[in-house]
Structure 1
Amino acid sequence: MKFDMGSTTLGTLSKGTQGSHDDLGSLVKELVRAVEPLEGKFNGRGRVAFDSFKQRTDEVAAELNSSLAKILEGQGEMDLAFHTGDEEAGQNASQSEGKSSFDRARFSGQA
């Protein structure tokens, strides 16, 4: 059984980020629904800010989801690079070992 914590770390991170990505847009919309009872209770600048946020809910959710999608893409590319590098390192080590001559090595008498 091969256990290499490094090889699973990015995959685990990506799964967690994917879950956040799936939930984020709906959480923004849920926030707007939760503050609906406050609508009409603000005046002046507070009302303008509240109305602006409410109108931009879909845009905010889309921007957040887009940002997380880019993070997921980066995590996937890092995971691929890690696994490719790990595989290449293993192949290089095997090739180097195959070219090495251990016939002349003397291990007897050494502590």
Structure 2
Amino acid sequence: MSRWDFGEQTLTTLARSTSGSSDELADLITQLIQAAEPLSGKFNGAGKAAFDSFKARSDEITADLKAGLGSINEGQYGMQSAFSTGNQTMADDANRNMSTANFDAAKFKTV
């Protein structure tokens, strides 16, 4: 059985990184379209249709990718919240149980 061991801020850091990657990906798509613009007049037939379709749908594609990464990001923050809450609950339960435990009964007495 594997065990997950990570710091308190691991998921928060991951979520920030995912958010930054989403913006970076959108910028890269824009750069790709701009870089390919000089080629737009060079295509014919199916290649031209595919290129024109990609170019026309670039905003939609970018929005879909950002929405998908946004959902992943939301899940990461949700996981962070769940782990933090679970960690605090476990600590509270342990402290509550220790306060009611009779540690003196567990001591070995020599006769």
TM-score normalised to structure 1 length: 0.88
Partner of 1:6, secondary structure, is coil
State the Cα distance separating 1:6 from its structure 2 match.
3.0
**What is the CA RMSD across the aligned residues, in angstroms?**
1.7
Mapping for residues 19-38 of structure 1, pairs under 5 Å: 19-38=20-39
Partner of 1:53: 54
Partner of 1:79: 80
Structure 1 runs of 4+ off > 3 angstroms? none
Return the alpha-carbon distance in structure 2 between the equivalents of residues 20 and 13 of structure 1.
10
State the Cα distance separating 1:56 from its structure 2 match.
0.6
Paired residue total:
106
1:70-95, CA deviations, whole angstroms, 9 ceiling, x for partnerless residues? 11111010000000000000000001
* Amino acid of the structure 1 residue aligned with 2:84: H
State the Cα distance separating 1:40 from its structure 2 match.
1.4
Task: Specify every segment of 5 or more residues in structure 1 that has no aligned partner in the other structure, as ranges.
Answer: none
Return the alpha-carbon distance in structure 2 between the equivalents of residues 56 and 33 of structure 1.
14
TM-score normalised to structure 2 length: 0.88
